[in-house]
Amino acid sequence: MRPAIVLFGDSITQGSFRPGGWGAALADTYSRKADVVLRGYGGYNTRWALFLLHHIFPLDSSKPPVATTIFFGANDAALSGRLSERQHVPVDEYKENLKKIVHHLKKWSPTMLIVLITPPPVHVEGRDEYARSLYGESARELPERTNDVTGTYAQQCVQLADELGVRTIDVWSKMQETEGWQKKFLSDGLHLTPEGNAVVYQEVIRVFSEAWLCAEEMPYDFPHHSVIDGSNPKKAFEQRCI
């Protein structure tokens, strides 16, 4: 009965139901109104995400989600020739892959609210610290991501959204507007702190509400308890349930 909102992305989506996570906060906001469906795949880039596309979003299913967030790029932007190069996807291919995902979703449902989210910024020193905390002296010396390179992916993501006429959240730029974003929003130079999660949550809510998916304006799936008459409960349920 309830519409579905799908969160499709990498580890920053997969981890979004941890304490303070942006996915859990969305599920709470849309509680009794829409289901928030978690489709986050840690470590995935857009190239690998394409293998899942037809399975997660099967065109022959009659009930497409009303909205989908697409939140990749943090792994695509891993540098070639460095430790995480296995995850690297060239920026042109990243853009092309995102376009395929959007086209697939639009084919399924032309009315679906699609939100492209850029990768968050990268704090190289934070990544270094994290690597050393795990591997000590044997930690890799050269960074596997830089903020500038990730920025070019963010830019292409925003540009694509404009080209395709879908909505976008530029998390990369948004976070850097706040002083101290490096530690305030990022726990390990890449993944989000609760404060970083709050930024994503607020932006998603803003974009959803500016479109037409405003939780406050959506009806409850079933009557609010305050409208149920204790001596004649049947009445409140007549319209929807009997």
Query: In this structure, what is the dihedral angle of CA atoms 195, 19, 17, 110, given to the nearest 10 degrees?
Result: -30
Contact status: 119 vs a second copy (CB under 8 A): no
Interface stretch with a second copy, choices 25-33, 154-162, 169-177, 184-192 (CB under 8 A) = 25-33
Site residues (CB under 8 A) for a second copy, limited to 80-99? 85-88
In the complex, the smallest distance separating the C-beta of residue 201 from a second copy, rounded to whole angstroms, is 11
11 counts as catalytic? yes
Query: In this structure, what is the dihedral angle of CA atoms 11, 12, 13, 17, given to the nearest 10 degrees?
Result: 100
Exactly one of 5, 12, 22, 38 binds a second copy (CB under 8 A); that residue is: 38
User: Could you tell me which residues are beta bridge partners of residue 238?
Assistant: none
Contact status: 32 vs a second copy (CB under 8 A): yes
Query: In this structure, what is the dihedral angle of CA atoms 56, 34, 208, 187, given to the nearest 10 degrees?
Result: -70
- Residue 48 sits at the vertex; the CA angle it makes with 75 and 152, to the nearest 5 degrees, is 35
Contact status: 233 vs a second copy (CB under 8 A): yes
Interface stretch with a second copy, choices 32-40, 63-71, 109-117, 141-149 (CB under 8 A) = 32-40
Query: Residue 6: which of 226, 170, 213, 173 has the closest Cα?
Result: 213
Query: Residue 171: which of 146, 145, 153 has the closest Cα?
Result: 153
User: Could you give the residue numbers annotated as active site?
Assistant: 11
Residues of the shown chain interacting with a second copy in the complex, contacts defined by CB under 8 A: 1, 14-15, 17-21, 23-25, 27-28, 31-32, 35, 37-38, 40-44, 47-48, 51-52, 54-55, 75, 85-88, 194, 222, 224-226, 228-230, 233-234, 237, 240-242
